[in-house]
Amino acid sequence: MKKILVPIDFSQNSKNALRFAAEIAVKNSASLELLHANVAAIYSVPLSEYASATVYAEDRNYDESASRLLERTKHELFENPAFAKLKVDTRVEEGYLHSCIRNVAQEDEVDLVVMGTKGAAGVNEFLVGSNTEKVIRTAPCPVLAVPENTEKFTIKTVLLPSTLKDDQKGIFNYLAEWQKVFGFNVKVLYLNNPSGFPTDGSAEAAKNRLAEAAGLTKLEVIMAMGSFFEDSTILSVADQYDVDMIAMATHQRHGLSHVFFGSITEDTVNHSNIPVLAVPIAWKKS
């Protein structure tokens, strides 16, 4: 891991996520890039030449102010001796948050996005979703969603919900790299379904095959039989075993596919009170 991208909106929530990102960066000898998205610029529709000049000046002033605030945020981070030697860049982009993150992550070859999340619920979740949900669906790299009010970044146990099929190789490989740094135990949660593995040891065998290929150790399988609301089961098991982080592969479905099938990962992120690491199934470490 070489570069971590952290979206900053100057809220305490985003600054808390920055602290988590800094801790990960220190352990991996990685650099940080702080990104602020000027969403207001999207709605600037000039009605005349005069309005155009006025809007341009306002946008330029906003970007300059945001750049100064990012520099201040960076220096506040450096006040912690543990982060004083980190390499930190700052950047202001105009556009929707998820598209800014996607473009910058691709352009700067980012390995991980770390962002604070407040989740979404009820009608808002159904119609709009959370910013983090949109980022997970479009990011070209893994995303670590850090719920607001998360105080400690101590990873002793990670819950890995998985179908244990071949398309899960990526999440097993990626989590093995994290395990080398943090040394955590892994609880592999198999959510059983009619087309899945029976309870005769097939899930254990599949887990072993994926884990051995990835070099992932210190893990055990937990079976959840006949679950209909997978995200609720995941969060219930996470609470039962007192895990510190949930790691999941995501298909990043779009359009009608997302409408009809949804995303267990996004639903889990929206309702989790612990960090969730979402890894695109198609993503491969460069």
User: First and final CA of the chain: distance in angstroms?
Assistant: 10
List residues bridging with 143 in a β-sheet.
113, 278
Task: Answer for the pair 119, 270: CB distance below 8 angstroms, yes or no.
Answer: yes
pLDDT value for 230: 85
- Give the pLDDT band (50/70/90) at residue 131: confident
| Check whether domain 3-147 has CATH 3.40.50.620, yes or no | yes
Question: Residue 112 — very low, low, confident or very high, per pLDDT cuts 50/70/90?
Answer: very high
Q: What's the rounded Cα separation, in Å, for the pair 115 and 98?
A: 11
Contacts of 102 (CB under 8 A, 6+ apart): 135, 138, 139, 140
Longest CA–CA separation in the chain, Å: 74
Highest mean pLDDT (candidates 49-58, 162-171, 210-219, 267-276): 210-219
Q: Give the integer Cα–Cα distance in Å for 21 and 114.
A: 6
Tell me the sheet residues that pair with 116. Answer: 146
Helices 169-182, 12-28: axis angle to 10 degrees equals: 80
Instruction: Report whether pLDDT(195) > 70.
Output: no
pLDDT above 70 covers a percentage of the chain that reads 79
Q: What percent of the chain has pLDDT over 90?
A: 61
- The answer to whether 59 and 94 are in contact (CB under 8 A) is yes
Average pLDDT over residues 210-222: 94
∠90-91-93 over CA atoms, to 5°?
160
- CATH 3.40.640.10 for domain 157-280, yes or no, is no
How far CA 268 is from CA of 4, 231, 247, 263, 264, in Å, comes to 22, 5, 10, 9, 6
> What's at 141, amino acid-wise?
C
Domain-wise residue ranges, the chain: 3-147, 157-280
> Do 3-147 and 157-280 have matching folds?
yes
Q: What is the pLDDT of residue 144?
A: 97
> Residue 216 and residue 212: Cα distance in Å, rounded?
6
pLDDT one-digit tens code per residue, 242-282: 999 999 999 865 543 343 334 788 889 888 999 999 999 87
pTM (predicted TM-score): 0.86
Q: Give me the helices (H) in the chain, please.
A: 12-28, 49-78, 97-107, 122-127, 131-138, 169-182, 202-214, 230-240, 255-261, 264-271
pLDDT at 204 over 90: no
Q: What's the rounded mean pLDDT across residues 18-43?
A: 92
User: What pLDDT, on the 0 to 100 scale, is given for residue 118?
Assistant: 77
pLDDT at 187 over 70: yes
pLDDT at 62: 85
Residue 129 has pLDDT above 50, yes or no: no
Res. 99: pLDDT tops 90: yes
Q: With a cut of 60, say whether residue 120 has pLDDT above it.
A: no
Alpha-carbon distances, residue 130 vs 11, 96, 168, 229 (angstroms): 16, 13, 25, 20
CA-nearest of 210, 209, 207, 233 to 220 is 207
Decide: helix, strand or coil at residue 7. Answer: strand
> What confidence score (pLDDT) does residue 223 get?
79
Give CA–CA dist 160/154, Å, rounded.
17
